[in-house]
Amino acid sequence: MPYKINKFIKQELSIRQLRTFLESKELPFSGKFEHLIERIESEFNSDDGVINSNEVHDLLKNAAKFGNRRMYYISKINRASIQSIKSKALISKVLCNISPYNNSNDFNDLNLDKNNLDSLIENDLFILEYLNTTYDELDLVIKIELGYSYTREAIRKNDDGTELKFTYKDYFWIEINFKTSIICIHLPSFPEHFGNSYTNNTLFTHFYKKLSSDFGFVFENMSESNKLLYTIFKDIISVSEEPFKKRMENHSALLPQISKIIDENKVLQETSYPQFEERLQDLIERLIIQENFKEYLEYSKGKDGIISQMQYTDETGASVNATTGSTKKKGTIELCDVFFDTRKTINDNEKVDILFIDWFLDYLMDEDYNEENDDLKGEPDEPTEVLTVPKITTKFVSSDKYLLMHFRRQLLTEEVVTHVLSKLRNYPEFRW
């Protein structure tokens, strides 16, 4: 029987992935989604085709690993607990309990890797369908990848009121990096598929506890991640504001004159205000940015992205949520004022709890970008500024158990994740 990519994994593939895959094999890559799928299947089934089973499996793996898994929960494992099971023999014993294998007692030679991602099996439990372990030359574990699936039937009403029964099958991906003691749990963005009792955080907690139970991991506290978010926030803001600060430098000689006029005319009752000229300079820089806000949002060489929103919680528990106005059609100046006012407090405390970053996908600049067919469109309820360079918004959330990185888009591809992580890996905490 000719091979067909199953209906579940097909939902995780994007047209960009298919085009990139076909182009890498020097095959025609134009056409609609279903035509591209048929082209891959036909080439695979052909006796003289240029697509082999390993390449199809890699394509399916990337679909299950990325696709709708746009929620990346990053946690740190206590180094002692991960080092205790690094050898091939010890980790194989652990993996045998996760993925039973009864044909051998020699744990040094055991190969437990599996790839059942093309399975049509439906289940209402979390089933392990993918397992891959990477070792170094000393047979010490470098990395483990685990792929789980979950199937659920649901009823949806059509426009005419009739009920339609359909099946969800979603995938969950876990990466364990033994060199950096980091785990990354990739979760889908639609927890309602699993029933009303599920949220993204309950799904995270399920796998967090499972990893602790299966591997004996002890996790580190991640509350300091809000300081990391501040560092990223400060660096991106610095690049965005640099052109406007330089413009202000051309007029910096005016500041002492303004200060002198105010003092001589006794505009203020106090004889002096600390950092008066510095604050005045900040205010003028803010006004220059507001007058040139479109330029502030636009791409320029060396500019990785822009901060679109942030949230800060002070010691009393009160929180401030501020946006630059980059995702709104109205009220830009007012929103921008709140953003700049809040930033002063954030700089004093050096921490950010929630951060939205619009990353420029500048590697796409030379491509024939077609907005209608591309997968880089923003979420339908959040219209974004139209820029020459496509971008993707990520939402970062700091917690005591994880740092969440949420890619806000419909389907995720490896190239987008690789691009964003290449920017984040300038920070030691992201070198995993």
- Residue in the block written with tokens 């050898």: 87
Write down the domain spans for the chain: 7-65, 71-215, 225-398+402-430
In angstroms, rounded to a whole number, what is the distance separating the alpha carbons of residues 376 and 361? Answer: 9
Cβ–Cβ < 8 Å for 412, 67: yes
User: Going residue by residue through the chain (432 aa), what tens digit of pLDDT does each one get?
Assistant: 789 998 888 988 989 889 999 999 999 999 999 999 999 999 999 999 999 999 998 999 999 999 889 999 999 999 999 998 999 989 988 888 887 544 444 444 456 677 777 766 666 678 888 999 999 999 999 999 999 988 877 777 777 888 888 787 889 999 999 999 999 999 988 765 566 667 888 899 999 999 999 999 999 999 999 999 999 999 999 999 999 999 988 888 888 888 888 888 878 776 566 678 888 888 888 889 888 888 888 898 889 999 988 887 766 665 666 666 555 444 344 446 667 777 778 888 889 999 999 999 887 765 444 434 445 443 433 434 444 688 899 999 999 999 999 998 768 888 899 999 999 988 887 766
Give this prediction's pTM: 0.84
